[in-house]
Structure 1
């Protein structure tokens, strides 16, 4: 049993970056792939800071793009460890973009990354326990528990659902698909 515990607050990392024309997609907005790259970097920094180990991305659990980001806006990402297992952590990240001329701030993205701590040999490493100090810490932890349960349900469904049964094939008529089996 791990006897070391660290606070959520000790895991917090904040980065800000001015969005440049070189970061845009074909519609002139900031490219989602560029934002994903920054999200992965801050998730790594947050998890590594908390665990004291090199960390790898095990999964990108949620990425909700809520509003476009414009060239010239200052993007700020705030990350914290919201959940810990034995060797893994779920890092929550909030992305905001600020129009630096008007000061208007908009929430642009919420993301959750599962990160795994590694030792010097590349084996999974134990991570500290998590001290929950605020109502937000507790809420975020329980939301991660729910997210994990949903992920397990999805995996179980994939393993047990007979998608080729006559019953499941007949239900496809409710959807915008046409079945043409080869």
Structure 2
């Protein structure tokens, strides 16, 4: 039986100030810089959960809902949603705050997948993630479906083997 660990123990809150070097010609945070920050926050969450070195395996759709402006404070919140044998799904929320105006908006969210590895780079087992709050349970319950979709899209699973997706796509 795998060791268990509450997902709350993986929680990460990271804050950055958007400086001129981080922006494009419209004074908005560059998308690549945002993804860099998201990858760091998510990796820390996965490391906290697994107590291992982790590597990024996949990034789901990252939608940019609201621009993040020069001078805004960016807050990233990441936490493991579910773990499998050696992989972990991490959910990230990104908030943009304009301190002088007192406004804060949700700018981005995404799911990243990490694999824990040993010193030789081989996958290694991670603790089972234990969801406790209503929100954690919601993310946990959807994680297997998202994982199977990722595997199908990557060609690593046949659609008819994706038990969680069959009902969604009416696959016999």
TM tier, smaller: 0.7 to 0.9
Task: Quote the Cα distance in structure 2 between the aligned partners of 1:125 and 1:159.
Answer: 24
Aligned to 2:130: 131
Which structure's CA Rg is the greater one? 1
Aligned length: 159
Structure 2: gaps of 5 or more residues: 160-172
RMSD: 1.9
SS of alignment partner, residue 34 of structure 2: helix
Query: After the TM superposition, which residues 28-107 of structure 1 pair with which residues of structure 2 at under 5 Å, given as runs?
Result: 28-107=27-106
Q: Which runs of 4+ in 1 moved over 6 A?
A: none
Q: CA deviation at 1:159?
A: 7.4
Aligned to 1:110: 109
Task: Quote the Cα distance in structure 2 between the aligned partners of 1:119 and 1:159.
Answer: 29
Q: CA deviation at 1:21?
A: 1.1
Aligned to 2:141: 142
1:41-77 alpha-carbon deviations (Å, 9 max, x no partner): 1111110111000000011122121110001110000
Q: CA deviation at 1:14?
A: 0.5
SS of alignment partner, residue 63 of structure 2: strand
Q: CA deviation at 1:153?
A: 4.1
1:67-97 alpha-carbon deviations (Å, 9 max, x no partner): 1000111000000000100000001000001
Task: Quote the Cα distance in structure 2 between the aligned partners of 1:81 and 1:34.
Answer: 22
Task: Quote the Cα distance in structure 1 between the aligned partners of 2:158 and 2:50.
Answer: 33
2:86, 2:123 within 8 Å by CA — same for their partners in 1? yes
Q: CA deviation at 1:98?
A: 0.6
Q: CA deviation at 1:140?
A: 0.5
Task: Quote the Cα distance in structure 1 between the aligned partners of 2:61 and 2:109.
Answer: 8
TM-score with structure 2 setting the length: 0.86
Question: Structure 1 residues 159, 81: CA separation in 2 closer, same or farther (over 3 Å shift)?
Answer: closer
Structure 1: gaps of 5 or more residues: 161-182
Task: Quote the Cα distance in structure 2 between the aligned partners of 1:103 and 1:33.
Answer: 26
